[in-house]
């Protein structure tokens, strides 16, 4: 493989690795093995000083008049929605993520395929905690079908869409380049 192709492949692998990291599943609360007893989080076991739990408790407590704190008001009125996807036919990988929050309720999904499996996870997070509500895993092949002539389509509700091919990131390697010390 020529140096240009190696550089292209390395660049694309970096883009894919970052995308997969961002789309990586989070452990459901029941798998995190937090120090919980009778439905109550035991901050002393998690944080021996108890400082994190005390600070969070202070922030969420009602003020002296029994009114909601600013943090509670903000959390209850928070709203957002986003999505992102990478469809990479060069390295035969796809990553999708969607999430919506309305107040204290959040729902979303992430999906990816890696040439071996197509996985899709739908989740919710609310006053009952984080829960996976649907999970699909389908075998799709014996591995990625690499296509150096393919392209990667990237889209995000925040930054729009773009496509990239191996030619777009190929850069000539300078011969006899002087090292800068």
Residues of the chain with pLDDT under 50: 1, 29-32, 34, 39, 41, 43, 46-47, 50
| 135 domain-assigned | yes
Number of domains in the chain: 1
Question: What confidence tens digit (pLDDT) does each residue in 120-148 have?
Answer: 999 999 999 999 999 999 999 999 999 98
Domain with 153, as residue range(s), is 72-170
- Mean pLDDT of all residues in the chain? 77
Quick check: is 5 in a domain? no
CA angle 82/77/83 to nearest 5° reads: 5
Instruction: Give residue 168's pLDDT.
Output: 83
Q: For the whole prediction, is pTM greater than 0.85? A: no
């Amino acid at each position: 493989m020529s140096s240009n192709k190696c550089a292209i492949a390395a660049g694309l692998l970096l883009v894919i690795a970052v995308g997969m990291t961002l789309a990586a599943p989070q452990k459901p609360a029941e798998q995190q093995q937090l120090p919980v007893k009778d439905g109550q989080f035991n901050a002393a076991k998690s944080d021996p000083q108890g400082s994190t739990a005390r600070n969070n408790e202070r922030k969420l407590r009602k003020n002296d008049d029994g009114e909601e704190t600013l943090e509670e008001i903000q959390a209850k009125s928070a709203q957002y929605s986003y999505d992102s996807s990478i469809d990479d036919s060069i390295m035969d990988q796809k990553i999708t993520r969607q999430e919506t929050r309305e107040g204290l309720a959040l729902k979303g999904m992430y999906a990816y395929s890696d040439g071996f499996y197509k996985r899709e996870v739908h989740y919710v997070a609310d006053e009952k905690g984080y829960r996976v509500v649907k999970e699909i895993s389908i075998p799709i092949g014996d591995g990625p079908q690499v296509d150096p002539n393919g392209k990667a389509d990237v889209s995000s509700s925040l930054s729009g869409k773009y496509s990239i091919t191996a030619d777009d990131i190929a850069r000539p390697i300078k011969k006899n380049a002087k090292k800068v010390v």
